[in-house]
Amino acid sequence: MIATLFDFNGVLVDDELVHLAAFADVLGPLGITLTRELYEERYLAYDDRGCFRAVLADHGRAHDDTTVAGLVEAKKPHYRARIETGLRIFPGAVDLVRHRATLGPIGIVSGALEDEIRFAIAAMGVEELVRFIVPAEHTQACKPDPEGYVLGVGQARKLGALGPIVAIEDATNGVKAAKAAGLRCVAVTHSYGREALLAAGADAVVDALAEATDAVLQGA
């Protein structure tokens, strides 16, 4: 069996601007403005904890664990309210998950929160095909640290995946994390350009999920 590990935000769901708006909702009352340009350049690849910590540090604010945890909690309803009325799934995402599930275990390794991921995969109609999730709550460090993918590999092996495992990513830090975990990584240009993804170590780059054929994903 061949396991496939999907990143979530920017790969399956098109919600990076939803996250930006939710971050802005929480940071605005603190007098911190988060523009799209700055978010995409500096903070996009972080999970919620990492983003809040980096933003606060960049503005000379306290960024201890308690402060950051409070902001993460405050962001949840802002994100959920937006996503419930405007969840956007990338073209080809559902078909790709369904097809790869016929080859072996499907896992999601993401900096997103578990309830966000479960809401989306239920809406996509693939919840029963996703065998495991490694969300932000299950790791101590966000990408590019490989911790999440190392955990994902362990889960996939327990489910009987004996062959190579491939990760599908959209961000440079995600590519770096997958490669550091020893995985083949195919990146899609939903968030970053081809050159940046290749420079980060992607084994192959596609411009749409429909181009992520078995041959591309498995390096055949």
| Cis, bond preceding 29 (omega within 30 deg of 0) | no
Q: Give long-range contacts, CB 8 A cutoff, 24+ apart: 39-44.
A: 40/16, 40/191, 44/10, 44/16, 44/171, 44/191
pLDDT tens, position by position, 138-147: 999 989 999 9
How confident is the model at residue 16, as a pLDDT? Answer: 82
The string of DSSP letters for 130-150 reads EEEEE-GGG-SS-TTSTHHHH
Q: What is the pTM of this model?
A: 0.88
pLDDT tens, position by position, 106-165: 999 999 999 999 999 999 999 999 999 999 999 999 899 999 999 999 999 999 998 899
pLDDT tens, position by position, 8-29: 999 999 988 888 999 999 999 9
How confident is the model at residue 124, as a pLDDT? Answer: 95
Distance CA 30, CA 120 (A): 30
CATH domain 4-14+88-218 topology: Rossmann fold (3.40.50)
CATH domain 16-86 topology: DNA polymerase; domain 1 (1.10.150)
Predicted confidence band at 220 (pLDDT cuts at 50, 70, 90)? low
Residue 134 β-bridge partners = 109
Q: What percent of the chain has pLDDT over 90?
A: 84
Q: Name which residue leads in pLDDT, 80 or 203.
A: 203
Distance CA 129, CA 131 (A): 6
Q: Where are the domains of the chain?
A: 4-14+88-218, 16-86
- 188, HSE (Cβ side, Cα atoms, 13 Å): 25
Work out the mean pLDDT of the chain and round it to a whole number: 94
Question: How far, in whole angstroms, is CA 110 from its chain's centroid?
Answer: 4
